[in-house]
Amino acid sequence: MNHNPSHHSNSPDITAAELHERLKAGEKLSIIDVREPIEFHTHNVGGENIPLGKLTQEPDELPFDEGEEIILICQAGLRSRTAQQILQQNGYTHTRNLKGGLLALRRLGG
């Protein structure tokens, strides 16, 4: 059975395994971590720390191009899913949500 892990045809989720491999390979990624600053400073994989509340108020002030791949991450993948929807509504066409969030990534040693 062919099953598609994502319902978003233009922006499939990114799995922890894929992100882990790409980070390990030293790939330069555009990442937005939408957790609160204290969470970000406790543990992060880099990227821009733009808390969801701030992103909601200022989605047009992001330092990214609308067509570039932007990976959205949070602790469990819920806040970043909301952030993904906000960005899509503001014209960002290639947003990807980290499935399972940093919790999933940490299980891989990320």
| Residue 83 belongs to a domain | yes
Above pLDDT 70, what percent of the chain?
89
Q: Which of 52, 82, 49 is nearest to 63 (CA)?
A: 49
Q: Which residues pair with 98 in a beta bridge?
A: 14
| Residue 7 belongs to a domain | no
Residue 8, pLDDT > 60, answer no
Q: What integer is the mean pLDDT of 27-50?
A: 96
| Residue 2 belongs to a domain | no
CATH number of the domain at 58, please: 3.40.250.10
Residue 3, pLDDT > 60, answer no
| Residue 81 belongs to a domain | yes
Q: What is the pLDDT of residues 75-99, one digit of tens each?
A: 999 999 999 999 999 999 999 999 9
- Angstrom distance (rounded) from CA 49 to CA 51: 6
Q: Is the dihedral of CA 13, 91, 75, 109 positive or negative?
A: positive
Provide the domain count of the chain: 1
